């Protein structure tokens, strides 16, 4: 099982490249049991939405 | 303004109205106020020259940011000196401080907070204001690649070329930006519950 440290790095990379099937599965298994990393993923996505909002709103 | 057909005079007024927004965006990316002023000036001139061809299909701001993106990229190309050395990159591509956010077992030392959904207009403005302050505190190169990637939606490959960094370094810079910003918002964006 990946650690939160490893997972957070892959969550960031997932926004810039397609993860491999194996990486996606590792992330999925970790997020299924980790609320902190699930919140981290939501925050990374919120940052992306906010930056795109700056360009339009 | 979406969809509405604007008279040339109205479009000129609209373009002028967004000057401040364009300058903020250009400054966040370029981290150089004078260069940002120049780039925004060129953007406004290009927009005015192209006003006749503005078809009113996109919002005026979206159209202007599209022009600004190309001007920023031109400015970065003109300024680039080829690949950066590790000395140029300094501490920004090191990961010791980022690794220290986790304990020896790889668990979060401070767990991310639940963010209230910032879709309500007032909350969103508040979020965006704190985010901008946090962005200004980011180390320069991390902020530059993050804005290229997330605001201008430039592909990771193209960001590497423009910033003169390897893909591995880009991954660290973007990770640094995201982790720093989420930490900064966790601390400084006070949710309605009052907990900061």
Mean pLDDT, each 10-residue run in order, chain B (196 residues): 62 91 96 96 94 78 95 91 78 93 97 84 88 96 97 97 95 98 94 51
B residues 25-44 closer than 8 Å to A (CB):
25
Disruptive mutation site among A51, A56, A57 for chain B (greatest number of B CBs within 10 Å) = A51
Q: What is the pLDDT of residue B196?
A: 41
Determine the average pLDDT of the residues in A33-56: 96
pLDDT of residue B59: 86
Note the pLDDT tens digit of each residue in A2-20: 999 999 999 999 999 999 9
With a threshold of 0.85, tell me whether the complex ipTM lies above it. yes
Measured CA to CA, the distance from residue B14 to residue B5 in angstroms comes to 12
Chain A contacts to B (CB-CB under 8 A): 3-6, 8-9, 12-13, 15-17, 35-37, 39-40, 42-44, 46-48, 50-57
pLDDT digits (tens, 9 = 90+) for A41-50: 999 999 999 9
CB contact under 8 A, B61 and A56: yes
Token pair listed for B64 = 């202007």
């Amino acid at each position: 099982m990946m650690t939160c440290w490893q997972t957070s790095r892959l969550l960031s990379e997932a926004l810039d490249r397609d993860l491999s099937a194996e990486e996606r599965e590792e992330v999925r298994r970790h997020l299924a049991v980790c609320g902190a990393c699930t919140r981290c993923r939501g925050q990374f996505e919120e940052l992306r939405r906010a930056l795109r909002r700056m360009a339009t709103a | 303004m979406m969809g509405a057909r604007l008279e040339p005079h109205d479009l000129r007024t609209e373009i002028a109205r967004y000057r401040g927004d364009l300058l903020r965006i250009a400054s966040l990316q370029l981290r150089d106020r004078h260069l940002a002023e120049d780039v925004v000036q060129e953007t406004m001139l290009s927009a005015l020259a192209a006003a006749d061809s503005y078809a009113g299909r996109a919002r005026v701001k979206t159209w202007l940011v599209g022009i600004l993106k190309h001007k920023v990229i031109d400015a970065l190309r003109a300024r680039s000196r080829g690949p950066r050395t590790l000395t140029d990159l300094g501490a920004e591509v090191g990961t010791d401080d980022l690794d220290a956010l986790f304990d020896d077992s790889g668990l979060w030392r401070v767990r991310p907070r639940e963010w209230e959904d910032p879709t309500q207009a007032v909350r969103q403005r508040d979020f965006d204001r704190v985010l901008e302050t946090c962005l200004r505190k980011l180390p320069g190169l991390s902020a530059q690649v993050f804005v290229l990637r997330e605001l201008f939606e430039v592909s990771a490959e193209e960001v590497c070329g423009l910033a003169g960094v390897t893909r591995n370094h880009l991954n660290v810079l973007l990770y640094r930006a995201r982790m720093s910003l989420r930490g900064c918002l966790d601390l400084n964006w006070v949710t309605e519950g009052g907990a900061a």
